[in-house]
């Protein structure tokens, strides 16, 4: 039934989100990402959450807003009982969003790809922001800028957010 999808799309549009319906070939339509974000994170909102409660905004943190963190590899990342496993497996994607006033204005992505950067456990980090709903996301940070902070999470495979 397509009514829940239509209701979700209309609610997102009312909130100012960029929503387009597309087919993935399975006969089911899906909402697409806002402009400016990479396609490999499409559907991240349905991935496993690493923080079950939103993380409040704190002064001095690199990623602003109320944060939610998602990972694409639930079985490989979480052991029985919700305990986190380290290191993360090759192919892991971690998406952290930051919302202000109910609008996602920040998307930070960690991609673990074998051979990317051995010195940083093969993680690639990229951060995108926008000022308001409906605006295109733009890349603002990657590489050394991100590693400089994430080195503080080296013990947990360069990712700060533990499953709670």
97-147 pLDDT per residue, tens? 999 999 999 999 999 999 999 999 999 999 999 999 999 999 999 988 899
Model pLDDT, residue 8: 41
Edge to edge, the sheet with strand 103-112 lists 48-49, 66-71, 93-100, 103-112, 123-129, 138-142
Is residue 12 over pLDDT 60?
no
Helix (H, G, I), strand (E, B) or coil at 79: coil
* Every domain of the chain and the residues it spans: 1-32, 36-156
Q: How far apart are CA 157 and CA 162, in angstroms?
A: 11
């Amino acid at each position: 039934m397509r009514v829940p999808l239509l209701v979700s799309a209309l609610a997102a549009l009312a909130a100012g989100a960029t929503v387009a319906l597309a087919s993935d070939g399975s006969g089911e339509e899906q909402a697409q990402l806002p402009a400016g974000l990479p396609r490999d994170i499409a559907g991240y909102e349905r991935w496993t959450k690493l923080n079950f409660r939103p993380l409040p905004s704190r002064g001095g943190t690199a990623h602003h807003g109320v944060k939610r963190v998602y990972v694409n590899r639930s079985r490989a990342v979480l052991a029985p009982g919700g305990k986190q496993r380290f290191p993360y497996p090759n192919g892991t994607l971690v998406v952290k969003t930051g919302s202000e006033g109910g609008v996602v204005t920040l998307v930070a992505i960690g991609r673990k790809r074998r051979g990317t950067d051995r010195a940083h456990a093969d993680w690639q980090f990229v951060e995108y922001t926008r000022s308001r709903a409906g605006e295109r996301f733009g890349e603002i940070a990657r590489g050394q800028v991100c590693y400089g902070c994430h080195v503080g999470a080296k013990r947990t495979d360069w990712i700060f957010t533990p499953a709670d």
